[in-house]
Amino acid sequence: MKKILLTGALGQIGSELTAALQQKYGTDNVVATDIRYSEGAFGEGAVFETLDIMDGQKLLDIVKKHKIDTIIHLAAMLSANAEKHPQRAWDINMNGLMNSLEVAREENCKFFTPSSIGAFGPSTIKNNTPQVTVQRPTSIYGVSKVASELLCDYYFTKFGVDTRGLRFPGLISYLTPPGGGTTDYAVDIYYQAVKKKSYTSFLDRGTYLDMMYMPDAIGATMRLLEAESGDLIHRNAYNVTAMSVDPESVASSIRKHIPEFELSYDVDPIRQAIAESWPDHIDPTAAKEEFGFNPQYDLDRMTADMLKQVKPN
């Protein structure tokens, strides 16, 4: 990778991945794009282009202008918001992806886009979910993610585009606010623990979901991007996870630092239904074997760092 472009760079993943790529490959070699401009978001000298991912021609123009060789496509509508606006979610998630893949094909770019545990459904094996298994999601977000995995497979086999992707679990970060995802409680709970010493969860007790701290997600993405293409078998849909948690287990971890922390519940039926359709814990063996995935943070280590980082903010 010499010249990298990110779509949706101001989102939860993009904000931190852009900074990590700048540090490793040089600020001038990373082009951040998003539908809106945020001054100073990526530091002094950062290269930023305003881009609506639905405008395929503008994306192509930017890729040519900056001589891009790697596209990281992050622009998407997340699960809870997508369920409220299914037609728009499909349009953004699928046509935006198609635009990006077409540019990657035309310009011979390496291509990465994330999938999600949302690509699974209620008929999927819930515990130790295999890399290859039944995928019958019941949310529009999940349907779009399954279609995305297949579309990336198609562009690899049909056109030789070097496509790659990870099935991300819930991602926890102290830098960006929740963005409409089903797993967002695991971000907001830390902010509220510091601010109010209490939190009201929109997911019910005992709702286990896979999670991963953002540094591990960034590390996994960069490791996959740098892997030799010939080593990759499940190239567009690797299961990755670091922990399986429910609201009570996160609260228990927080109480090791804030003993008076209180957790209550006001269950959101939309997000609860989505969460119940997803696995409790997925098997990341293929990612470990094929490109060396190795998460560094468990729940307690993540909690200690989250609380440390959130307090100054």
In a domain, 192, yes or no: yes
In a domain, 35, yes or no: yes
C-alpha distances (whole Å) from 1 to each of 25, 109, 211, 230, 258 are 8, 9, 28, 16, 44
For residues 278 and 120, is the Cβ–Cβ distance under 8 A? yes
> Are 207 and 218 in the same domain?
no
For residues 293 and 139, is the Cβ–Cβ distance under 8 A? no
In a domain, 292, yes or no: no
> Are 10 and 111 in the same domain?
yes
pTM: 0.92
Give me the number of domains the chain comprises. Answer: 2
Say which CATH number the domain at 40 has.
Answer: 3.40.50.720
> Are 57 and 109 in the same domain?
yes
C-alpha distances (whole Å) from 63 to each of 79, 96, 176, 280 are 29, 15, 27, 39
> Are 147 and 250 in the same domain?
no
Domain containing 273 equals: 170-211+243-281+297-310
In a domain, 104, yes or no: yes
> Are 145 and 20 in the same domain?
yes
> Are 264 and 222 in the same domain?
no
- Contacts of range 257-262, beta carbons closer than 8 Å, 24 or more positions apart: 257/303, 257/304, 257/307, 258/193, 258/194, 258/197, 258/307, 260/197, 261/193, 261/197, 261/198, 261/199, 262/197, 262/198, 262/199
199 among known catalytic residues? no
For residues 173 and 214, is the Cβ–Cβ distance under 8 A? yes
In a domain, 287, yes or no: no
Could you list the pLDDT tens digit for every one of the 313 residues in the chain? 789 999 999 998 999 999 999 999 999 999 999 999 887 788 888 999 999 999 999 999 999 999 999 999 999 998 888 999 999 999 999 999 999 999 999 999 999 999 999 999 999 999 999 999 999 999 999 999 999 999 999 999 999 999 999 999 999 998 876 666 788 899 999 999 999 999 999 999 999 999 999 999 999 999 999 999 999 999 999 999 999 999 999 999 999 999 999 999 999 998 899 899 999 999 999 999 999 999 999 999 999 999 999 987 6
Exactly one of 25, 141, 155, 174 is catalytic; name it.
141
Burial (Cβ within 10 Å: 0-12, 13-18, ≥19) of residue 231? exposed
